[in-house]
């Protein structure tokens, strides 16, 4: 569900407005993840459109100055929300704190609907009109207490919501971009030849230059794939001095343009320092990753067992990456490699709708609560997926979640939503 966050200084009538919005839809009010006392997010609907209403007043971190607290709230709101409702007390007018909030909201580029509250007295309309000078567009005159104007406000909110109801996968057009990486002689060229055969289309070729990357577009399975800088792969830099430096530069630039990286390692030899370095580069780039163990045709039983141990020991950080054993020479399992590339890209682009995410987290947190630490039990109050490619999640919590618990959450998210082949980022916003 799309998220609507309500932000404003204390006493401007934020909670009354939240209750007003929820109150007209008694039946559908529902709290999100196993939260009882600290409810901060509610599912509700207006004009047939369901959304999650986030009451940022619930985040109020204690012990800081008021302005800092409100700014923190606004930051929470812009991270999590599709639309922000900014509530100002029209009788008091815009204060310095309000102006500070406006700056945070502006920077975010998120749509903001300005609610001029407490428009119930004689001077109400004029007070509301004065709030045009905040530069947030039309102030919606409301009286949260009496219910006046909240319908128009909600219409404006719906208007500002993103059109498409959340899709599971982003639409993609055009070929998907792959970087084929690996140390020299691992079999990149051979693999490319196997994959592309005669069908490759060379693109971006600039006559007479050797520095420009030349990509190749190849149709594999259901899609077109753009293999990045295949000229670099085929040119085979062999100079002794600086070869490694140039190889790693090429890896970095290829990654920058890629969506998914296929890292080839030579299964017939021990994992090299250079293999690990390339894998780290992919990890840092936030791209999807598939590991291809090449030259499988050369393996005997003994090497195979040794390889399993090597992988367990050295590649624990990327256990999420699909592993495919292949032979570029014979073409064995190359089709599986292409399927793994597909899977990794899907995971990389997946967006979990907020309602589903919170329902799922509510379940797993209820079954496996965070251990009590120092007499306190941190809880996840609300979560949202802030981004894709790679997926980034923000957890709003009532205390610091320890690393093992964050890993547990990540593992469960992966199992539930199919994030094979993609790094996931989990960040926390703690309300102390
Ligand atoms: P690149 O430097 O990564 O592009 O590696 P190449 O594709 O040039 O391959 C280096 C050498 O390894 C060549 O002699 C290939 O024939 C050989 N090679 C590549 N893949 C395989 C494989 O799957 N099995 C075997 N046995 N040899 C391979």
Q: What is the CATH number of the domain that holds 218?
A: 3.40.50.300
- Whether residue 120 is found in the same domain as residue 28: yes
- Whether residue 282 is found in the same domain as residue 381: no
In the block, which residue shows the tokens 């990286």? 261
Q: How many residues make up the chain in this entry?
A: 432
Distance 66 CA to ligand 1 centre (A): 64
- Whether residue 212 is found in the same domain as residue 284: yes
Is-contact 396 76, C-beta < 8 A? Answer: yes
- Whether residue 181 is found in the same domain as residue 155: no
- Whether residue 332 is found in the same domain as residue 358: no
Q: Which atom of ligand 1 is nearest to the CA of 184?
A: 2
Pocket perturbation via mutation, ligand 1, pick of 179, 185, 187, 231 by most ligand atoms within 8 A of CB: 187
Q: Is residue 165 part of a domain?
A: no
Distance 332 CA to ligand 1 centre (A): 13
Q: Which residues contact 415 (CB under 8 A, 6 or more apart)?
A: none
C-alpha–C-alpha distance, residues 17 and 44, integer Å = 14
pTM value is 0.71
Q: Is 174 left (phi over 0), alpha (psi -120 to 50) or beta?
A: left
Q: Taking residues 252-267, what's their average pLDDT?
A: 93
371: tokens are 């251990």
- Whether residue 284 is found in the same domain as residue 203: yes
C-alpha–C-alpha distance, residues 394 and 382, integer Å = 9
Distance 328 CA to ligand 1 centre (A): 7
Q: Which residues contact 273 (CB under 8 A, 6 or more apart)?
A: none
Q: Write phi, then psi, for 350 (nearest 5 degrees).
A: -65, 135
Q: Taking residues 375-385, what's their average pLDDT?
A: 90
**CB neighbours (10 Å) of residue 430?**
14
Whether 162 has a binding-site annotation, put simply, is no
Q: Give me the percent of the chain exceeding a pLDDT of 70.
A: 85
Q: Which atom of ligand 1 is nearest to the CA of 264?
A: 3
Q: How confident is the model at residue 167 (pLDDT cuts 50, 70, 90)?
A: very low
What confidence tens digit (pLDDT) does each residue in 350-362 have? 999 988 999 999 9
Q: Taking residues 313-330, what's their average pLDDT?
A: 93
- Whether residue 101 is found in the same domain as residue 194: no
375-407: b or e for each residue (b if 16 or more CB lie within 10 Å)? eeebbbbbbbbeebbbbbbbbbbbbebeeebbe
Q: How confident is the model at residue 188 (pLDDT cuts 50, 70, 90)?
A: very high
Q: Which atom of ligand 1 is nearest to the CA of 191?
A: 7
Domain of 136 in residue numbering reads as 3-160
- Which residues have C-beta atoms less than 6 Å from ligand 1? 182, 184-190, 233, 236, 294-295, 297-298, 327-329
Predicted local confidence at residue 191, as pLDDT: 94
Between residues 247 and 280, which one has the greater pLDDT?
280
Predicted local confidence at residue 63, as pLDDT: 60
Asked if residue 199 has pLDDT above 70, the reply is no
Whether 185 has a binding-site annotation, put simply, is yes
- Whether residue 183 is found in the same domain as residue 152: no
C-alpha–C-alpha distance, residues 35 and 48, integer Å = 25
Whether 295 has a binding-site annotation, put simply, is yes
On the question of a cis peptide bond just before residue 390, with omega within 30 degrees of 0, the verdict is: yes
In the block, which residue shows the tokens 């899977």? 343
124: tokens are 């109400």
- Whether residue 200 is found in the same domain as residue 276: yes
Q: What is the CATH number of the domain that holds 384?
A: 3.30.300.20
């Amino acid at each position: 569900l799309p998220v609507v966050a309500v932000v404003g200084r204390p006493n401007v009538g934020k909670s009354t407005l939240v209750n007003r919005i929820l109150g007209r839809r008694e039946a559908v009010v529902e709290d999100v993840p196993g939260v009882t006392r600290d409810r901060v997010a509610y599912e509700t609907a207006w004009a047939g459109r369901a959304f999650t209403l986030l009451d940022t007043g619930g985040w109020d971190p204690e012990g800081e100055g008021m302005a800092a607290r409100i700014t923190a709230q606004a930051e929470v709101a812009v991270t999590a929300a599709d639309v922000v409702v900014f509530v100002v007390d029209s009788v008091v007018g815009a204060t310095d704190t309000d102006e500070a909030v406006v700056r945070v909201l502006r920077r975010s580029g998120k749509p903001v609907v300005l609610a001029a509250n407490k428009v119930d007295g004689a001077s109400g309309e004029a007070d509301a009109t004065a709030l045009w000078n905040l530069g947030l567009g039309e102030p919606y005159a409301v009286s949260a207490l009496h219910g006046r104007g909240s319908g128009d406000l909600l219409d404006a909110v719906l208007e500002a919501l993103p059109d498409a109801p959340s899709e599971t996968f982003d639409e993609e057009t055009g070929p998907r971009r792959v970087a084929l990486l690996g140390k020299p002689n691992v079999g990149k060229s051979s693999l490319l030849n196997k994959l592309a055969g005669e069908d490759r289309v060379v693109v971006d070729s600039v006559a007479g230059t050797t520095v420009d990357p030349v990509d190749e577009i190849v149709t594999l399975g259901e899609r077109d794939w753009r293999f990045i800088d295949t000229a670099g792969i085929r040119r085979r830099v062999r100079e002794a001095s600086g070869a490694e430096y140039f190889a790693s530069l090429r890896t970095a630039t290829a990654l920058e343009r890629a969506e998914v990286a296929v890292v080839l390692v030579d299964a017939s030899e021990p994992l090299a320092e250079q293999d690990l370095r390339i894998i780290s580069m992919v990890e840092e780039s936030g791209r999807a990753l598939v590991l291809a163990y090449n030259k499988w045709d050369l393996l005997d039983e003994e090497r195979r067992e040794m390889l399993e141990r090597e992988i367990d020991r050295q590649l624990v950080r990327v256990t999420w990456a699909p592993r495919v054993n292949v032979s570029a020479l014979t073409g064995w399992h190359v089709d599986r490699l292409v399927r793994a590339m597909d899977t990794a890209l899907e995971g990389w682009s997946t967006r979990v709708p907020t309602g589903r995410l919170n329902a799922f987290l509510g379940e797993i947190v209820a079954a496996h609560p965070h251990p009590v630490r120092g007499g306190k039990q941190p809880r996840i109050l609300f979560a949202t997926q802030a981004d894709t490619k790679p997926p980034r999640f923000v957890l709003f919590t009532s205390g610091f979640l320890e690393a093992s618990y964050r890993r547990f959450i990540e593992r469960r998210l992966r199992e539930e939503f199919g994030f094979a082949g993609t790094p996931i980022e989990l960040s926390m916003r703690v309300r102390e």
